[in-house]
């Protein structure tokens, strides 16, 4: 029999990315620990995707939980316009010390989409504040930057944006680096519309929702060199790739580049609480600092720099130590070993690994609506593993506390699905 809260969910809750006409009942989770979720029936489920890519160190990590509890007893919330507090100030300092050198000013928001919205507004208003009209932003094909309107505009056009196409602003589209040459396309764009171009936005080294497409550091380096040479801002959306997912703490660090603007969210609090940040250079910040009130960045959120979220983020950052680095390297080694095992299967295409992220394509239509993804997800869940493919794209992004046995089990479940009788 379903519990009262499960029945309340069925009566009242609208779940994300869910067609409620025919969706299966959601799995009722009552607690989590380490790399595992536990449902209302006592079943343990290995969280192989870090609960939508947010859980870094494991669920219910005691250090982060303690930081949250301690902060909640001291200061739970205060307006951040005209006020400040220790968790936000020290978190900003912690981030600047760890980020690529040159990124010095931290603007707080609520999540990945809002971090991108801030980045776009900063980039566009920066040029206006300097007396120049540059309304154009360039972005990659198959990009995903969030579900708010600015983020949708710079994201790739497709299923998620189709209902709003006429409301999205113009974007100059550069080729997906796994399919074409965005550097040459940017050169052509600069030659034809360079005076209009405010910024280029990329997901560095990994197009996430667009299919876990891994692209080369050399391409990112070339884009950075070209934008710097031509005076165009580079925005790095590291909402997914930040905090060690690609190996180093940041994908830009892996490529040895420093963007003008960098967006972070997801793993920022270790997966405990919503929080986003947009970090910019001192030069960009200076273009907003003026006796002219019209040059102010008029943007904010009720929970901007929430003290509890900031305390969680500081605790999470402290856990990104040498031990975490070793764990991430171990996960990468296991990914490579296990992918080698299944690569020979006739249904598997394009296996790839980037740090703690592993992915491959299943033979079939490259579509988010390809039913093979749902079939694999349902099969894995019955076996106690949470996998949520992007259509025919299968990926694993585990918490850093995941053991070799956890990952081997997940790959064994995938192998069993591939070998099942059709």
Whether 263 and 130 map to the same domain: the answer is yes
End-to-end CA distance of the chain: 33
Whether 408 and 311 map to the same domain: the answer is no
Domain range holding 365?
A: 4-60+322-418
Question: What pLDDT score was predicted for residue 369?
Answer: 86
Residue 413 has pLDDT above 70, yes or no: yes
pLDDT (tens digit per residue) in 110-136: 999 999 999 999 999 999 999 999 999
CB 266 within 8 A of CB 242: yes
Residue 365 has pLDDT above 90, yes or no: no
CATH of the domain at 19: 3.90.1150.10
CATH of the domain at 206: 3.40.640.10
Please tell me whether residue 172 adopts helix, strand or coil conformation: strand
Last residue of a domain, one of 318, 352, 373: 318
Active-site residue numbers?
17, 144, 237, 266
Whether 335 and 311 map to the same domain: the answer is no
Identify the band that residue 422 occupies on the pLDDT scale cut at 50, 70 and 90: low
Whether 144 and 179 map to the same domain: the answer is yes
Last residue of a domain, one of 318, 338, 361: 318
Residues with Cβ within 8 Å of residue 200, at least 6 apart in sequence: 137, 138, 139, 174, 186, 223, 227, 232, 233, 234, 235
| Average pLDDT, integer, range 156-181 | 95
Whether 306 and 357 map to the same domain: the answer is no
Whether 285 and 338 map to the same domain: the answer is no
Whether 334 and 307 map to the same domain: the answer is no
pLDDT (tens digit per residue) in 336-348: 999 999 999 999 9
- Rounded to an integer, what distance in angstroms lies between the CA atom of residue 387 and that of residue 380? 7
Task: Give the DSSP per-residue string, 213-279.
Answer: EE--HHHHHHHHHHHHHHT-EEEEE-TTTTTTTTSSSSHHHHHT---SEEEE-GGGGTTSS--EEEE
Last residue of a domain, one of 318, 341, 357: 318
- Rounded to an integer, what distance in angstroms lies between the CA atom of residue 127 and that of residue 270? 35
Question: What pLDDT score was predicted for residue 150?
Answer: 97
Residue % of the chain over a pLDDT of 90: 96
- Rounded to an integer, what distance in angstroms lies between the CA atom of residue 351 and that of residue 414? 13
Whether 334 and 314 map to the same domain: the answer is no
Identify the band that residue 271 occupies on the pLDDT scale cut at 50, 70 and 90: very high
- Alpha carbon dihedral 268, 204, 248, 275, in 10-degree steps, equals 0
CB 309 within 8 A of CB 274: yes
Q: How many domains does the chain have?
A: 2
Tokens (6 digits) for 406: 């956890």
Question: What pLDDT score was predicted for residue 296?
Answer: 96
Average pLDDT of the chain is 96
Whether 303 and 382 map to the same domain: the answer is no
- 382 vs 35, 56, 332, 371, CA distance in Å? 17, 24, 26, 17
Whether 389 and 314 map to the same domain: the answer is no
Whether 131 and 225 map to the same domain: the answer is yes
Which of 98, 76, 94, 73 lies closest to 85 in space, CA to CA? 76
Question: What pLDDT score was predicted for residue 58?
Answer: 98
Whether 113 and 179 map to the same domain: the answer is yes
Q: What is the DSSP letter of 83?
A: -
Residue 270: phi and psi, rounded to 5, are 75, 10
pLDDT (tens digit per residue) in 176-234: 999 999 999 999 999 999 999 999 999 999 999 999 999 999 999 999 999 999 999 99
């Amino acid at each position: 029999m379903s519990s009262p809260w499960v029945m309340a969910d069925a009566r009242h809750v609208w779940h994300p990315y869910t067609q409620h006409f025919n969706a299966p009942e959601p799995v009722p989770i009552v607690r989590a620990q380490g790399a595992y979720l536990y449902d209302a029936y006592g079943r343990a489920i290995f969280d192989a995707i870090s609960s939508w890519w947010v859980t870094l160190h494991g669920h219910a990590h005691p250090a982060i939980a303690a930081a949250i509890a301690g902060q909640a007893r001291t200061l739970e919330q205060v307006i951040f316009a005209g006020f400040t507090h220790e968790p936000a100030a020290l978190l900003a300092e912690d981030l600047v010390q760890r980020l690529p050198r040159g990124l010095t000013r931290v603007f707080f928001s609520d999540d990945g989409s809002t971090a991108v919205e801030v980045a776009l507004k900063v980039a566009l208003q920066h040029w206006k504040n300097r007396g120049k009209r540059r309304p154009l932003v360039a972005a990659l094909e198959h990009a995903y930057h969030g579900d708010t309107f600015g983020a949708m505009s710079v994201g790739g056009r497709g299923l998620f944006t189709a209902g709003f196409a006429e409301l999205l602003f113009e974007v100059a589209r550069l080729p997906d680096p796994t399919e074409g040459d965005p550097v040459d396309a940017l050169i052509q764009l600069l030659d034809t519309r360079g005076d209009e171009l405010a910024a280029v936005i990329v997901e560095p080294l990994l197009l996430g929702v667009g299919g876990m497409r891994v692209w080369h550091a050399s391409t990112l380096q070339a884009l950075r060199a070209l934008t710097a040479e031509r005076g165009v801002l580079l925005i790095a959306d590291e909402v997914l790739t930040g905090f060690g997912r690609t190996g180093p703490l940041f994908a830009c660090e892996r490529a040895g580049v420093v963007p003008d603007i960098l967006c972070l969210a997801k793993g920022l609090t270790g997966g405990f609480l919503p929080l986003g940040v947009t970090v910019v250079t001192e030069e960009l910040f200076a273009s907003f600092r003026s006796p002219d009130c019209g040059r102010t960045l008029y943007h904010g959120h009720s929970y901007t720099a929430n003290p509890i979220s900031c305390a969680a983020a500081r605790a999470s950052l402290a856990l990104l130590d040498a031990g975490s680095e070793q764990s991430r390297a171990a996960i990468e080694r296991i990914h490579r070993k296990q992918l080698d095992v299944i690569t020979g299967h006739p249904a598997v295409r394009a296996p790839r690994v980037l740090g703690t992220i592993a992915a491959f394509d299943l033979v079939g239509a490259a579509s988010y609506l390809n039913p093979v993804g749902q079939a694999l997800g349902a099969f894995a869940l019955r076996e106690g593993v949470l996998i949520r493919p992007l259509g025919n794209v299968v990926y694993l992004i585990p918490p850093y506390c995941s053991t070799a046995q956890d990952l081997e089990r997940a790959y064994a479940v995938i192998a069993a699905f591939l070998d099942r009788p059709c």
